[in-house]
Amino acid sequence: MDGFESASKKALAFLRRKLGFQMCMVTRTEGNDWAVIHRDDQGYGVAPGDVFNWGDSFCSEMVEGNGPNIAPNSSLVPVYAAAEIGRKIPIGAYIGVPLLLSDGRLFGTLCGIDPRPQPDSLADNQDLIELVGSMLSTILQMELKADEEERRAERYQAQAMTDALTGLYNRTGWDQLLVKEEARYQRYRQSSVVIVVDLDGLKYANDRFGHAAGDALIKRAATALLKASRADDVVARLGGDEFGIIGVNCDLEGGLALCERMKLALESEGVNASYGLAATNKTIRISHALTLADQAMYQQKRQKKSA
């Protein structure tokens, strides 16, 4: 096993065969999204990347302590019998344990389901299931720590690809880091947001006061965007008066908060700008989110001009 993905797939295959279940999964929770990262499925038709409603799941009740880790007959557990997901797919038996990050926060779950109730002896496997869950949590934590170090190394290397005027990443650095963050999304299904910022007053500043004033405006904007962003975020000058930000491991709600911080920071520097925001999900990758954010920014700019 050379990492979390390999360990997960081997663990799922082992548990599914050991328990005789139709499907076992490793999942990721983020807000109310419950995404399948890996699965060993022999009948449910679930694919990696599928996203379900966390609040509808057995796992959400298990994590809250409202239901057991093992339910040989899930219909006998009131919260499982009432769970919405049971109305969509047949679940006769269930197992589940949380997968935790190093700070104790929930990453997701290791779980399994079968359409048929199982013998009560299924509960004898609790120690085994908890051990496998603990093992996967440990491997995940080690891999994410290594991933943090890798991200720092990427940012250090990308420092050579900076914009001379602002010191931010240039378009080449942006493109390179975007590919890296996309690969991380594929591994862990941790969402990110893309924000595109376009300055409203650059042409006026250049025409009225000269290019030195325009350059000063761009530098003030860069300072504001760096101040409002977080340590892991990617902030780049994409060209001219356009900037891009990747909010790393950030959902839509966090992205809206990040965008609002940037707006306030820019206003404090006397900079007016138009914004576009898009978040990744099952069908929207970071590169696509960039296109959507760019479109949203231009739509806002057009609305300003027509107002």
What one-character-per-residue DSSP string does 133-168 give? HHHHHHHHHHHHHHHHHHHHHHHHHHTTSB-TTT-S
Whether the predicted pLDDT of 149 surpasses 60? yes
- Summarize pLDDT for 81-132 with one digit per residue, the tens: 999 999 999 999 999 999 999 999 999 999 999 999 999 999 999 999 999 9
Residues 230 and 286 in one domain: yes
- Here the tokens at position 301 are 């700019």
Across all residues in the chain, what is the average pLDDT? Answer: 91
Domain stops at, among 124, 145, 166: 145
Residues 140 and 207 in one domain: no
pLDDT band per the 50, 70, 90 thresholds, residue 26 = very high
pLDDT band per the 50, 70, 90 thresholds, residue 211 = confident
The confidence score (pLDDT) of residue 215 equals: 87
Give the CATH number of the domain where residue 174 resides: 3.30.70.270
pLDDT band per the 50, 70, 90 thresholds, residue 186 = confident
Residues 186 and 106 in one domain: no
User: Total domain count for the chain?
Assistant: 2
The residue with greater pLDDT, 190 or 193, is: 193
Residues 168 and 222 in one domain: yes
Q: pTM score, two decimals?
A: 0.66
Residue 63 structural domain: 4-145
Mean pLDDT across 38-49? 94
- 241 as an active site residue: the answer is yes
Residues 169 and 124 in one domain: no
Pairing between β-strand 23-30 and β-strand 33-41 as defined by DSSP bridges: antiparallel
The confidence score (pLDDT) of residue 285 equals: 87
- Here the tokens at position 306 are 């027509």
Q: Is residue 153 part of a domain?
A: no
Taking the C-alpha atoms of residue 14 and residue 7, their distance in angstroms, rounded to an integer, is 11
Whether residue 19 contacts residue 95, with contact meaning beta carbons closer than 8 Å, is answered with yes
- Here the tokens at position 206 are 């250049």
Q: Is residue 152 part of a domain?
A: no
Domain stops at, among 145, 176, 196: 145
Whether the predicted pLDDT of 303 surpasses 90? no
Residues 80 and 218 in one domain: no
Name the 3-class secondary structure at 229. coil
Q: How far apart, in Å, are the Cα atoms of 107 and each of 103, 123, 189, 227, 294?
A: 10, 24, 10, 29, 31
Considering only CA atoms, which of 239, 276, 283 is closest in space to residue 259? 276
| Cβ within 8 Å of residue 218, ≥6 positions away | 165, 166, 199, 202, 237, 241
Residues 202 and 250 in one domain: yes
Taking the C-alpha atoms of residue 106 and residue 256, their distance in angstroms, rounded to an integer, is 23
Buried/exposed 48-61: b ≥16 CB within 10 Å, e otherwise:
eebbbebebbbbbb
Residues 174 and 60 in one domain: no
- Here the tokens at position 236 are 């780049």
The residue with greater pLDDT, 153 or 243, is: 243
Residues 174 and 81 in one domain: no
Residues 174 and 266 in one domain: yes
Among 40, 163, 198, 241, the one annotated catalytic: 241
pLDDT band per the 50, 70, 90 thresholds, residue 155 = confident
Whether the predicted pLDDT of 223 surpasses 70? yes
Taking the C-alpha atoms of residue 62 and residue 97, their distance in angstroms, rounded to an integer, is 8
The confidence score (pLDDT) of residue 202 equals: 72
Residues 42 and 139 in one domain: yes
Give the CATH number of the domain where residue 19 resides: 3.30.450.40
